Amino acid sequence: MTGPEYEVVIVGAGPAGISAACVVAETGRDALLIDDNPSPGGQIWREQERHGSNWEAAHWLRRLQLYRVEVLRGATVIDGDPDKHAIVCETANSVSTIRYKKLILATGSRELFLPFPGWTLPNVMGAGGLQALVKAGMPISGKRVVIAGSGPLLLAVGAYLKKQGAHVLAIAEQASWARLARFGLGLPTQPYKLAEAVQLKRALFRVPYHAGAWVEAALGETVLERVRLSLSHRRWEAPCDYLAVGFGLVPNIELAATLGCKLSAGCVQVDPMQQTSASDILSAGETTGIGGVELSLMEGRIAGYSAIGDRLNAQWLFSDRERMRRFARRMQKAFALREELRHLPLEGTLVCRCEDVSYQRIAPMPGWRAAKLHTRCGMGPCQGRVCGPAAEFLFGWHCQSTRAPVFPARIDSLIGHKEE
């Protein structure tokens, strides 16, 4: 297999990938950073390059430039061959094979979407999803938005949308006050660091925040018209333009799994040096577990040091990383999903949005693979990225069955990917 070779290739230009790339490039080694978005930044710093205001993001993006890290934009890694130390990258009109000595997978996470009646109506979106669309130019000013689901992301999104002029009618967090308090997150804003917490609180001034509350149904003929929430002792219903729902985050492990990395509990398994079970493949950031930006940056740096064989510098950071991981674990527990959410879908509620497969057709199946083969659930273009984690939650199945290509790819790209 031919193609350019780099000492370190990093997939994913979010905080983890960027910090890893900087560490490698600082020492003068050649690093290639690949991302499927048009600009680096990952989920949180997307659009930063164009009109960003976040100082931390600006700092890291500047370092990328300073150390002349080569960034391959708009390129999706669709496959790879670990035996040959090669990955295959598809862009809008080309395909290339890139070889590495060390590979760092920092493919981040996506939102967890759970089915409820009406969730397939247009204008029902992810929480991070709506935020991303607004960052990309979707008009939101003056629109009525209900935010629901779980986790600190709801607050970040609420604050952002409000700042963009949206009327945020309510934020519904499924975790109860009692649970949040038990894990030391009594204040809804506490999850983020103190300064951010204060900022968020200010930003969300006058936005009703309900804990122990969840969305029961999205209502509308062909598009969203109204939302119904279950609050602790009553129902709440209101007309709105957009419903933004996310139930937390799910690691993007598909590429790692395809390259043979071991997983555990839905995350890529890594050792203290961020090394995966596959030789010369490391992983960092939310691919290895959901933990927020700071942890992603930290893991990225450790992976960077690890990739260049600098154990000492990596070890310096272990204790900080451990502290952040402890915090992340506490967050995960605080925002654990409640049983009631399992009973939201009605018989006819679709679980698989690509193939339109309803709850009642999937429920009797003995497992994920059987459901795929007999109902087509998870067989559409999202390759089970949406319904897989949902089915895992709803039915307790193990929904991991990755197949090449990692993302739908042009047949061309699979032809081009050949041995010389």
Partner 1 sequence: MSEPVYDVVIAGAGIVGAACAYACSREGLKVAVLERDFIGGGATAAGMGHVVVMDDSEAQFALTRYSQQLWQELASELPADCEYVRTGTLWVAADEEELIEVRRKHQFYSQRKVPSEILDSRSLDAAEPQLRTGLAGALFVKEDAVVYPPCVARYLLERSRDLGARVLLGKEVIRLDDEGAAFEDGTMMKGAVMVNAAGARAASLHPDLPIVPRKGHLLITERYPAFVHHQLIELGYLKSAHKSTADSVAFNVQPRKTGQLLIGSSRQYGMDSPEVDRSILSRMLARAGQYIPSLPGLSALRVWTGLRAATPDNLPLIGRCPGYRHVFAAAGHEGLGITTSLATARLLIDQLMSRAPAISSEPYSVQRNIAVHG
Partner 2 sequence: MAELVWISIDESPVEVEPGTTVAAAILQSDTAGFRRSVTGEWRGPVCGMGICFECRVAINGQPHRRSCQAYCESGMVVRTK
Ligand X SMILES: Cc1cc2nc3c(=O)[nH]c(=O)nc-3n(C[C@H](O)[C@H](O)[C@H](O)COP(=O)(O)OP(=O)(O)OC[C@H]3O[C@@H](n4cnc5c(N)ncnc54)[C@H](O)[C@@H]3O)c2cc1C
Q: Is the peptide bond before 405 cis (omega within 30 degrees of 0)?
A: yes
Query: According to CB under 8 A, which one of 54, 370, 385, 392 is a site residue for partner 1?
Result: 370
Q: Is 383 in the site for partner 1 (CB under 8 A)?
A: yes
Q: Is 255 in the site for ligand X (CB under 6 A)?
A: yes
* Torsion sign across C-alpha atoms 323, 325, 330, 331: positive
Q: Is 79 in the site for partner 1 (CB under 8 A)?
A: yes
Contact 252, 107 (CB under 8 A): yes
The smaller minimum CB distance to partner 1, of residues 278 and 370, is found at 370
The partner in contact with residue 414, picked from partner 2, ligand X, partner 1, none with C-beta cut-offs of 5 to 8 angstroms by kind, is partner 1
Enter the DSSP assignment of 397.
-
Q: Which of residues 95-154 bind ligand X (CB under 6 A)?
A: 106-111, 128, 131-132, 153
> Which residues, including other chains, have CB under 8 Å from residue 400's CB and lie 6 or more apart?
253, 257, 263, 266, 368, 388
The smaller minimum CB distance to partner 2, of residues 108 and 304, is found at 108
Please choose, from the candidates 276, 249, 281, 250, the residue with its C-alpha nearest in 3D space to the C-alpha of residue 263.
276
Q: Which of residues 283-342 bind ligand X (CB under 6 A)?
A: 285-286, 292-293, 296
Q: Is 388 in the site for partner 1 (CB under 8 A)?
A: no
* Total residues interacting with partner 1, rule: CB under 8 A: 27
Q: Is 92 in the site for partner 1 (CB under 8 A)?
A: no
Question: What's the closest the beta carbon of residue 399 comes to partner 2, in angstroms?
Answer: 15
Query: According to CB under 8 A, which one of 92, 194, 312, 411 is a site residue for partner 1?
Result: 411
The partner in contact with residue 122, picked from partner 1, ligand X, partner 2, none with C-beta cut-offs of 5 to 8 angstroms by kind, is partner 2
Region for 289 from its dihedrals, namely left if φ exceeds 0, alpha if ψ lies in -120 to 50, beta otherwise:
left
Question: What's the closest the beta carbon of residue 349 comes to ligand X, in angstroms?
Answer: 23
Q: Is 408 in the site for partner 1 (CB under 8 A)?
A: yes
Can you read off the two tokens belonging to residue 216?
């029961």
For the chain, the distance separating the N- and C-terminal CA atoms, rounded to the nearest angstrom, is: 6
Question: What's the closest the beta carbon of residue 246 comes to ligand X, in angstroms?
Answer: 7
Contact 295, 328 (CB under 8 A): yes
Side-chain half-sphere CA neighbours of 162 within 13 A = 22
Query: According to CB under 8 A, which one of 239, 348, 367, 396 is a site residue for partner 1?
Result: 367
Can you read off the two tokens belonging to residue 297?
């940056």
Q: Report the C-alpha gap between 18 and 222 in whole angstroms.
A: 41
- Contact stretch for ligand X (CB under 6 A) within 41-49, 113-121, 162-170, 363-371: 41-49
Question: What's the closest the beta carbon of residue 55 comes to partner 2, in angstroms?
Answer: 21
C-alpha distances in angstroms, 273 versus 108, 183, 305, 306, 313? 18, 29, 8, 6, 11
Contact 8, 102 (CB under 8 A): yes
Question: What's the closest the beta carbon of residue 379 comes to partner 1, in angstroms?
Answer: 8
Cα angle at 147 between 141 and 149, to 5 degrees?
155
Angle between helices 15-26 and 293-307 (to 10 degrees): 30
Q: Is 21 in the site for ligand X (CB under 6 A)?
A: no
The smaller minimum CB distance to ligand X, of residues 292 and 378, is found at 292
The partner in contact with residue 406, picked from ligand X, partner 2, partner 1, none with C-beta cut-offs of 5 to 8 angstroms by kind, is ligand X
- Contact stretch for partner 1 (CB under 8 A) within 171-179, 281-289, 305-313, 401-409: 401-409
The partner in contact with residue 249, picked from partner 1, partner 2, ligand X, none with C-beta cut-offs of 5 to 8 angstroms by kind, is ligand X
Can you read off the two tokens belonging to residue 73?
């934009």
Q: Is 171 in the site for ligand X (CB under 6 A)?
A: no
Query: Tokens 């199945």 map to which residue?
Result: 397
The residues binding partner 2 (CB under 8 A) are 36-38, 43, 47, 50, 110-111, 113, 120-126, 128-134, 136-139, 222-223, 252, 353-356, 380-382, 385-386, 407-408
Q: Is 174 helix (H, G, I), strand (E, B) or coil?
A: coil
Contact 34, 13 (CB under 8 A): yes
Q: Report the C-alpha gap between 97 and 287 in whole angstroms.
A: 23
Q: Is 381 in the site for partner 1 (CB under 8 A)?
A: yes
Query: According to CB under 8 A, which one of 118, 149, 380, 388 is a site residue for partner 1?
Result: 380
Contact 299, 16 (CB under 8 A): yes
Using CB under 8 A as the criterion, which residues of the chain lie in contact with partner 1 when the complex forms?
A: 79, 81, 366-367, 369-370, 373-375, 379-381, 383, 403-405, 408-412, 414-419
Using CB under 6 A as the criterion, which residues of the chain lie in contact with ligand X when the complex forms?
A: 11-17, 34-37, 42-44, 76-77, 106-111, 128, 131-132, 153, 156, 249, 252, 255, 285-286, 292-293, 296, 406
